[in-house]
């Protein structure tokens, strides 16, 4: 339940500052306004950075896809997937109170149910925590390599690779509604930094934006292994490695039919959750995307089927950090 809240105060959290992380690749300029006529490059997920070492993993996913009709395979059986969720609110008391008054947090629960439940993917229990203090309030959390963001995520994270940790922060780059980390980071990095980096970051502004529900489902799609359908642009024949998502470019913005790669089959899926567009209603995933998410779940996140190292398979913690002052709040 969203109303279950705790107040956490960070004390003496260990630092990941000594970890040398790969530099992110170039990504589209972010420019999002609050009107529906604005440019939409609102997802800060860096496919270049998180995809390091991931090519072999995508090949493995393709192999999984070929076996997905096997009734002995958990992917083929379409078993329900249940994902526990922890939401951490970073901000001043006034900022956190505003989100609560506007019922913005309820959008996370509602959006996840709307986007995923019909595909047998369910989220819960959902626990919400308030992070007291202002240590991370003025930090721009747009870059996962930033020392303070890694410190924050390592100090707050609860649960293993199967758990969705969502960090709601006051500051991201202008125009960014949120970003996520792909699941193959759990096999790319073989120590605690993978779990510390894992999860979804959402901006306060993003939860009040008219695309907020789409942004939430979109970022969790990355958490479950989906790339943007426009990955690679028109130079790529199948940038996201999913056959039923026609190739497009990221300039697919307004909610109107278009074909940004006319030399390639298909038209832009403007009402797809993983596309950049102003469409906010009647959104969907393709069957191929649903299969890919289930494949990624069983390969990297399901405790029964994943094959990760001990340091990425075991949770950093299973309860709120004992070095924090915890006060129940509702």
**Rounded Cα–Cα distance for residues 128 and 307 (Å):** 29
The strand pair at 81-90 and 178-180 is best described as unpaired
Active site residue 219: yes
How many CB atoms are closer than 10 A to CB 232? Answer: 16
Round to the nearest angstrom and report the end-to-end CA distance of the chain. Answer: 10
Give the bridge partners for 106, in sequence order: none
At 5 the three-state DSSP class reads: strand
176 confidence band (pLDDT: 50, 70, 90): confident
The whole-number pLDDT of residue 118 equals 96
The whole-number pLDDT of residue 21 equals 25
The whole-number pLDDT of residue 198 equals 95
The whole-number pLDDT of residue 57 equals 52
**Alpha carbon 101 to its chain's center:** 25
What are φ and ψ of residue 328, in 5° steps?
Answer: -65, 135
Which of 54-63, 159-168, 244-253, 314-323 ranks highest by mean pLDDT?
159-168
Tokens 């930090």 -> residue = 139
The whole-number pLDDT of residue 54 equals 44
Calculate what percentage of the chain has a pLDDT beyond 90: 36
The structural domains of the chain, ordered by start, are: 5-12+27-226+285-329 (3.40.390)
Of residues 194 and 36, the one with the higher pLDDT is: 194
The whole-number pLDDT of residue 236 equals 74
Average pLDDT rounded to a whole number, residues 241-253 = 80
The whole-number pLDDT of residue 200 equals 96
Question: In this model, does residue 273 exceed pLDDT 60?
Answer: yes
The strand pair at 164-169 and 81-90 is best described as parallel
The whole-number pLDDT of residue 214 equals 92
Yes or no: say if 284 and 273 are a contact pair by the CB < 8 Å rule.
Answer: yes
Of residues 192 and 35, the one with the higher pLDDT is: 192
Within the chain, how many helices (H) and strands (E) appear?
12, 7
Which contiguous run of DSSP H or E holds residue 55? Answer: helix 55-66
Question: In this model, does residue 169 exceed pLDDT 90?
Answer: yes
- Residue tagged active-site, from 143, 162, 219, 295: 219
Concatenated DSSP letters for 113-170?
HHHHGGGTEEEEEEEEEEEESSTTTT--TT-TT-HHHHHHHHHH--S-TTSEEEEEES
329 confidence band (pLDDT: 50, 70, 90): very low
**Rounded Cα–Cα distance for residues 31 and 40 (Å):** 6
Per-residue model confidence as pLDDT tens digits over 70-109: 445 666 667 899 999 999 999 888 888 888 777 778 889 9
Average pLDDT, the chain: 77
The whole-number pLDDT of residue 78 equals 76
Of residues 21 and 194, the one with the higher pLDDT is: 194
Per-residue model confidence as pLDDT tens digits over 114-146: 999 999 999 999 999 988 778 888 888 886 557
- Retrieve residue 65's tokens: 């896809």
The maximal CA–CA distance of the chain, rounded, in angstroms, is 59
The strand pair at 121-132 and 5-9 is best described as parallel
Question: In this model, does residue 42 exceed pLDDT 60?
Answer: no
CB-based contacts of 100, cutoff 8 Å, min separation 6: none
Calculate what percentage of the chain has a pLDDT beyond 70: 72
> Picking from 51-55, 222-226, 238-242, which range would have the lowest pLDDT averaged per residue?
51-55
20 confidence band (pLDDT: 50, 70, 90): very low
The whole-number pLDDT of residue 234 equals 85
Question: In this model, does residue 12 exceed pLDDT 90?
Answer: no
CB-based contacts of 208, cutoff 8 Å, min separation 6: 102, 104
**Alpha carbon 284 to its chain's center:** 17
> Picking from 61-70, 107-116, 233-242, 261-270, which range would have the lowest pLDDT averaged per residue?
61-70
Average pLDDT rounded to a whole number, residues 295-303 = 95
Concatenated DSSP letters for 172-236?
-STT--EEE--TTHHHHS-SHHHHHH-SEEEEHHHHHSTTHHHHHHHHHHHHTTPPPTTTTGGG-
Which of 30-34, 90-94, 297-301 ranks highest by mean pLDDT?
297-301
**Rounded Cα–Cα distance for residues 45 and 226 (Å):** 11
CB-based contacts of 116, cutoff 8 Å, min separation 6: 122, 123, 217, 220
């Amino acid at each position: 339940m969203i109303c279950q809240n705790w107040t956490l105060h960070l004390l003496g959290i260990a630092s990941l500052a000594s970890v040398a992380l790969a530099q992110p690749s170039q990504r589209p300029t972010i420019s999002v306004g609050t009107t529906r006529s604005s440019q939409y490059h609102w997802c800060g997920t860096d496919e270049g950075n998180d995809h390091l070492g991931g090519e072999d993993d995508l090949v493995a996913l393709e192999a999984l896809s070929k076996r997905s009709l096997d009734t002995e395979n958990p992917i083929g059986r379409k078993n329900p997937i249940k994902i526990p969720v922890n939401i951490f609110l970073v901000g001043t008391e006034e900022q956190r109170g505003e989100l609560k008054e506007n019922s913005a947090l309820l959008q996370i629960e509602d959006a996840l149910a709307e986007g995923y439940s019909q595909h047998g993917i369910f989220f819960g229990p959902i626990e919400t925590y308030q992070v007291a203090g202002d240590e991370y309030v003025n930090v721009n959390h747009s870059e996962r390599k930033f020392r303070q963001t890694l410190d924050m995520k390592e100090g707050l994270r609860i649960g293993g690779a199967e758990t969705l940790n969502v960090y709601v922060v006051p500051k991201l780059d202008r125009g960014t509604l949120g970003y996520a980390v792909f699941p193959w980071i759990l096999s790319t990095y073989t120590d605690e930094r993978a779990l510390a980096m894992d999860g979804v970051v959402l901006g306060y502004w993003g939860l009040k934006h008219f695309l907020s529900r789409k942004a939430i489902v979109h970022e969790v799609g990355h958490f479950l292994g989906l790339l943007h359908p426009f990955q690679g642009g028109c130079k790529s024949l199948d940038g996201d490695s999913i056959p039923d998502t026609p190739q497009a470019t990221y300039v697919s913005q307004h909610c109107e039919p278009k074909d940004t790669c006319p030399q390639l089959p298909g038209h832009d899926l403007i009402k797809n959750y993983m596309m950049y567009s102003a469409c906010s209603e009647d959104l969907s995933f393709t069957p191929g995307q649903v299969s890919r998410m289930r494949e990624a779940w069983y390969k990297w996140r399901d405790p029964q089927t994943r094959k990760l190292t001990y340091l990425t398979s075991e949770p950093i913690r299973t309860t709120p950090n004992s070095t924090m002052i915890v006060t129940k709040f509702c």
